[in-house]
Structure 1
């Protein structure tokens, strides 16, 4: 022990002596510059760095890197540079000053980092393993490029007033342009980061193009670290296995890779040049550019029309006009990071893009994408909105959610797995703002083969309805390939009343119950790329003709337009095939859609058209069933100035259940009275409802809604007067007139109040059992011995009593709990009566549809019973003697 201690003491003395003499610890090496001069041993072989030293000398950084400071430098050896020069057919002498700056500064960080700490995000305490990007010493002005007019996109949005490149292109001069206003950050995959984010060996194999199979390797801007840290007095040096170039962003990677040139052209249609002097906060950059280049030329930044990200929001306008589509993010934004509420910045994540090779894209264009080719002829003719669907489904906002081991979680526009596998990846490129997966196939959006596609492909004809589908979140639903759809697509092809727009018309359901209705005329605003509307007072007569009156001067807000169009679209969608031979179908919104005819001679009726005996002719059938999910039915709005409901989209019924029963009260008077003459506090009819602190009203206060309806569809069975009267005559069913006779004394008599409660309960239970969940129609979907719940709760089981229904094209029967079979009475036409009940918010011209219910009414030949033991006994037999006496003494 004594000997060992003597040795340690001697070493300590020597170390302290050196510290005193040199002013620095003995374990600290020379400066970065000196260490590079000495050479570094890598895997037992000394590597030299004369190229890196020349870069340092030529850029006047020798003094900086020879003195104390704080730098981390990732360097390639001379042998690596020799390979790089050969691959790029160049030499050191041919490098420009800008290229030298990029080579050196993109591989240098202005802080000293041990590599095991580089994956930490600064915090208290540090967030370990969370960092994948950080800024380098590069300056954006180091990467100014020259762009010639023939490199600029031509008419990218197929409209002259949206060509943001026109002036520069027509000017005929080259421009100086930055790929972004921020320098390119370094992207690094380090062991702690990969472990924290659950990278697998396969992930790093794909990401490194087979250069590594271990997550224990460290990767810097696509290059592998092959040495330990070299500790210097002014920072650290790490040797990498190749030259770190300019850390291009994803747009630049795609632009410069010959095999992705066609995709780059498609992306560039969404590009725009922005002068730095008109871009907020870049005044200093503009002045530095002019000083460094001794010029008064304008410096531009290459941006892309895209959705806002964490760091930028680029205007979607060209002059006064809004572009028709934007990308999911800007692939040229060096600091790209998705907006989030977690406080994450560029250090935490990046983006990713799936890009097919030119060969794969051409193969798709001639094969699965043939429909697009036949529609437009060339890629340059594909409208931007249509094209954006293809590009955006391959733009992944989070790289960490798109590493190869998570490929099965990448979804398309219908929210189903896109289908990419690691074997599809030809090559992977690490960019400063994300990773580009170059693949050997095209992953197309489901929308290209869904029932939505005809509207997307024919914007001038169906711009309004497509906007509603695309902007109100119907796309993922209608693009699903797991269902079959029939979608009605109204054309906006009728000249507006003002003569200024091409529109389709719509009667506002909020005004169905008013003496004066409101006619909406929806049109697509090309300048703002949105839907707008004009409104007119009108009178809708019973034949379905519309008498247009004065214009409502107040323009509807975007919120009101969305409220009406969302409701409309819900009632234009049918899940299934409307050419299956039925006559009636239920829409997604629960309303009734009637189909007459077949083949090329089909007409449609919504509830309103059924009421008016008007039919809507289908102009065009778009069959998307072969590789898609159904058919779309185009309907024309052209009416030559003669407005009628047959030229409107299928609209939902205007009448409530109350109105239908009242109109047929000569056949259903007793059931109608049981519903309508209810003055109890628990009445089934309501004119208003209250949610939270807001009160909503029915469409017409004279025609109340059924209060037990929710946002669903129902069937109401109306027993014949004869059968109801039989129950009354036998004393099984009370009448409201008895309840009314007790009203004067109920406030002061508990006996009278108890009788009233008993009467209300019996009548309510009777009526509730005649109301069934789900609308069933004769001539609709065949129903065989199907049980449906009613509105009557079984107090013993706490479940609702059911009815058993059988329905076919020409018959409908209902079996109650007691086995009684009741059939629909067709003689008087009180069957298949479509109803809709609305709850309306707001007032005047600002009313909104809060919620609604749909119902179908059928008259049946007898009453429905849920419990004969309790129902087929005199109701008064359950009263006390005192209660009976009170009733017997009531005046006649």
Structure 2
């Protein structure tokens, strides 16, 4: 029923309050503590007695020894229920109480103390806090302390499910323990002022109160119970009559534990809490339970409180750090969360057992099922991510009307719907929504979730989650779709170091190295071994990673490796983007290289340029011990556990061109003439195709293409016949011998620039293989320039997917890739820049350019 106010009395009292120096207090400091005012109702006790339908509550007052307190002047707020509310309670409650005489002393204390506030509050004052320079403090509060304390009830606890949760509880199995509440349970209230100030809608209220209505502007609810008559002014305080009995609200932890539909989630939570001993709390409890009466007797056993491992409590009862164990955002067993604040509470979305089972046995949770079999076996560090993603630190920041755009605490969409909510509970420290849906963290939803879970891929797990390399940020994107290739820990023992193998491959004397990545105390390490040309390990050289400065080397290689194992699957109009197990022949990696793919579905075989270059077997998808294939679908792509590392090419463009007889004519032109280049050594306009790119702190790993710049490229190599034809048809195109023989400096420079520009026309931005997929016109820039200084462009197209055609956009000259000899097109190379001018002392890759090389049947020609 609507709340009715005695307007005349309220006006009188407000005038008195306005004259008080305590006007801005969040409570009404009752001015008649020592004398009785005229024209007010009787005392609280006498008022209840005169009404005639508070028989049970009066008995409660008498039994609890509050008769004198509520009969004389004082400063109290009482929240009593009428007799009919007690009768309803006796007919339906979880305590087995059928009548007043069945009430235990504990229940009497809980009802009485929850129904009384030790200060006088008009209803509108419940939601006020102290004013500040920036706020009046009105309408901000949603909690207030009653007379209830944690001492009112210290139950004996013998929940065997909890005792099986972790080692901290196991010592109480079969014995039990006394477990006090962690703090006093405050009253949670919703008032018109709070609803208006915080923007809580009546629809919001309906969601978190299981369909109850709230009339904005008039209704008040306290502990999920409606106030049916507010602001009855008595000479020693105020009365707000409740629709039902007030009992202290359980905290979120107890709510979840007691709900029959949330057993699985509750059991998982139990792995993140422990009994903590607090001598001060025990002393306070012992002081009250002094044995003076039967109801004030408690055995001599130690008394504990239940606390969770959280970001603010990261130590166990023995002061051991729990950082690596796994931490929750906040403690659902802490009655005062958040930090005794009156203005907010927490929220937990708790999936039903059915929802938990459906997730574990469905597509999304398949990798958890494969690895662990059930929720109980999921390790705590991984489980903590799951549980805490169902926590929201702030109720006021996660109201139901915001759910469509609400994010988790890591700022990723949660996608919560009102239809997900099975039922709701008010807790003293938060609202619990029982849901028919699981809200996995972004780590579970993304392609790297399966790598985090599997014992086979722990090295890649740590590499992906490394906070300096930050690949997990990239892979968390739900706007993109990925193929993630995850080498197993066994595969990670055979990484061919690109620097040492690159030195050897490019004709620089070098001892090849194999790096064996592993974890030591969850830290990345690498044992470095000598290797022969076949990749067979020799003697161990050293271990790196134990020293801080060596971690840069490990991250340098793992970053390079991860770039090779991520393939974006949804780039529009990109023939090298897609799901790699659906018939693709080549796919572009994040780093700009390509992976060659044979087969489809479960039978795919994968190889990088380095794997093909050194004759390694292609990688395949791993089969698990249970016979299933380690191929997983996630919300943003597919994950494949593979048995070999994808290796980028070790050979440079210079080396690849030099090694192929069919490329010789073009290579020799690109290599240039040392005498000519020496002649123009001080001329900045003359830039050779190849150079060692030596600086004070870096160098190319052998000769590199000077125009390349940490990107991906295509090199078109005209056949010897095509080059002869080009020189025959263009009188301005001179050989290096002719240029060297030219005695006029100006003509010499003109001829040199013309030839270099002709050659650079064959070096194109972007890497385009013959991919097996046809595509329309795609235009790219070359390294060659027009007379005005702009880059010349070529247009590429493929009619069948097994051809590749090139057209010069300014001249219309056309050429096609020669596909008769498989060894002369789709040849992969990589130019490396390393971190030392002495390349044999280099330790890290600074940059690189990935390249595909094709032989073509016609030279490309500018104007």
Same fold (TM over 0.5): yes
Q: Distance in 1 between matches of 2:524 and 2:33?
A: 74
Give the structure 1 partner of residue 795 of structure 2.
803
User: How far apart are residue 126 of structure 1 and its match?
Assistant: 1.7
Answer yes or no: is the 8 Å Cα contact 1:815–1:822 preserved in 2: yes
CA distance in 2, matches of 1:32, 1:467: 71
Q: 1:84 aligns with which of 85, 89, 97?
A: 89
User: Is the alpha carbon distance of 1:31 and 1:490 closer, same or farther for their aligned partners in structure 2, counting shifts above 3 Å?
Assistant: farther
Q: SS of the residue aligned with 1:285?
A: helix
Structure 1 match to 2:709: 709
- 2:221 matches 1:219: yes
Deviation at 1:250, TM superposition (A): 1.4
The number of aligned residues is 788
Q: 2:304 aligned with 1:300, yes or no?
A: yes
Task: Spell out, residue by residue over 1:778-828, the C-alpha distance to the aligned partner (whole angstroms, 9 max, x if none).
Answer: 245443333334456889898984533337554322111122112234559
1:154 is aligned to 2:164: yes
Match of 2:493 among 504, 515, 536: 504
Question: Which residue of structure 2 lines up, in the alignment, with residue 4 of structure 1?
Answer: none
In structure 2, distance between residues paired with 1:243 and 1:654: 78
Residues 506 and 808 (structure 1), Cα distance of their counterparts in 2 relative to 1, 3 Å cut: farther
Q: In structure 2, do the counterparts of structure 1 residues 121 and 612 end up closer, same or farther at CA, with 3 Å as the change threshold? A: farther
| Residue aligning to 2:278 | 276
Per the alignment, residue 664 of structure 2 pairs with 666
Deviation sequence 1:647-685 (CA, Å, 0-9, x none)? x41122334445544555734335533699696658688
Residue correspondence of structure 1 range 204-215 to structure 2 within 5 A: 204-215=205-216
Distance verdict in 2 for CA 1:553–1:236, change over 3 Å: same
Aligned mates of 1:602, 1:615 — CA distance in 2: 13
Tell me what 2:816 maps to.
823
CA contact (8 A) 1:120 1:126 kept: no
Is the 1:356–1:441 contact (alpha carbons within 8 Å) kept by the matching residues of 2? yes
Deviations 1:127-158 (A, max 9, x none): 657735445255444454322262434265xx
Structure 2 CA distance for partners of 1:462 and 1:422, relative to 1, 3 Å? same
Deviations 1:529-551 (A, max 9, x none): x3432332x44554444444322
Distance 1:831 1:86, change over 3 A: same
SS in 1 for 2:246: coil
Mapped contact 2:114–2:246 kept (Cα < 8 A):
no
- How far does residue 212 in structure 1 lie from its aligned partner after superposition? 1.3
SS in structure 2 at match of 1:244 = coil
> Which whole-Å deviations, capped at 9, do the CAs of 1:517-569 have from their partners, x for residues lacking one?
654333345xx5x3432332x44554444444322365165676555444433
- Secondary structure class of the residue paired with 1:620: coil
Picking from 482, 490, 495, the partner of 2:487 is 490
The alpha-carbon distance between structure 1 residues 368 and 855, as it changes in their structure 2 partners (threshold 3 A), is: closer
Superposed counterparts of 1:415-564, under 5 Å: 419-442=415-438, 452=448, 454-455=450-451, 459-469=454-464, 485-493=482-490, 504-509=493-498, 513=502, 515-516=510-511, 519-525=514-520, 528=521, 530-536=522-528, 538-552=529-543, 555=546, 557=548, 561=554, 564=557
Superposition TM-score, scaled by structure 1 size: 0.72
| Comparing 358-367 and 601-610, the one that deviates more | 358-367
1:643: which partner in 2? none
Q: Which residue of 17, 29, 47 maps to 1:39?
A: 47
Partners in 1 of 2:581 and 2:639 — Cα distance?
Answer: 12
Equivalent residue for 1:247?
A: 249
Structure 1 counterpart of 2:24? none
Q: Which secondary structure does the structure 2 equivalent of 1:604 belong to? A: strand
In the TM superposition, residue 612 of structure 1 has moved relative to its aligned partner by 0.7
Q: Does the alignment pair 1:58 with 2:68? A: no
Which sections of structure 2, spanning at least 5 residues, go unmatched? 1-7, 21-29, 291-298, 504-509, 570-577, 624-628
2:648 paired residue number: 652
User: Of 164, 168, 183, which residue of structure 2 is paired with 1:164?
Assistant: 168
- Relative to structure 1, the CA distance from residue 731 to residue 450 in structure 2 (aligned partners, 3 Å threshold; closer, same or farther) is same
Aligned counterpart in structure 1 of residue 349 of structure 2, from 350, 354, 378: 354
SS of equivalent residue, structure 2 residue 403: helix
C-alpha separation in 1, matches of 2:749 and 2:214:
78
CA distance in 1, matches of 2:556, 2:331: 31
Question: Does the 8 Å CA contact 1:534/1:555 hold for their aligned counterparts?
Answer: no
Quick check: 816-825 or 671-680, which moved more? 671-680
Structure 2 residue aligned with 1:259:
261
Alignment RMSD (CA, Å):
5.3
Paired with 2:462 and 2:712, the residues of 1 have a C-alpha distance of 27
**SS across alignment from 2:489:** coil
Cα distance between partner residues in 2 of 1:433 and 1:513: 61
In structure 2, relative to structure 1, the CA distance for the partners of 1:805 and 1:72 (3 Å cut) is farther
Instruction: Measure the CA separation in 2 of the matches of 1:362 and 1:32.
Output: 61
Deviations 1:226-285 (A, max 9, x none): 3343456776553443333223221111112233334322322333233336xxxxxx33
How far has the Cα of 1:860 moved from its partner? 3.1
| 1:238 match: secondary structure | strand
In the alignment, does 2:188 pair up with 1:187? Answer: yes
Q: Secondary structure at the match of 1:408?
A: coil
5+ residue gaps, structure 1, are 1-7, 157-162, 278-283, 339-344, 495-502, 637-647, 743-750, 869-892
Contact 1:32 1:237 in 2 (8 A): no
In structure 2, the CA distance between the partners of 1:377 and 1:27, relative to structure 1 (3 Å rule), is: same
Contact 1:131 1:193 in 2 (8 A): yes
Q: Are residues 213 and 614 of structure 1, via their aligned partners in 2, closer, same or farther at CA, if it must alter by over 3 Å?
A: same
Q: Distance in 1 between matches of 2:375 and 2:471?
A: 27
Q: Report if aligned partners of 1:121, 1:127 keep a CA contact under 8 Å in 2.
A: yes
The offset of 1:490, in angstroms, is: 1.9
The corresponding residue for 1:641 is none
Shift of 1:610: 2.0
Give yes or no for the alignment of 1:776 onto 2:772.
Answer: no
Checking the alignment, whether the CA contact within 8 Å between 1:415 and 1:476 is kept in structure 2 is no
Q: CA deviation at 1:346?
A: 4.1
Equivalence for 2:617: 615
Conserved 8 A contact 1:414-1:476: no
1:57-77, CA deviations, whole angstroms, 9 ceiling, x for partnerless residues?
7366965995556x6655444
Residue 614 of structure 1 deviates from its aligned partner by 0.8
2:562 pairs with one of 559, 569, 572: 569
SS at match of 2:525: strand
User: Are the equivalent residues in 2 in contact too, given 1:31–1:68 (CA < 8 A)?
Assistant: no
Secondary structure (helix, strand or coil) at the match of 1:115 reads helix
Question: Match for residue 832 of structure 1?
Answer: 826
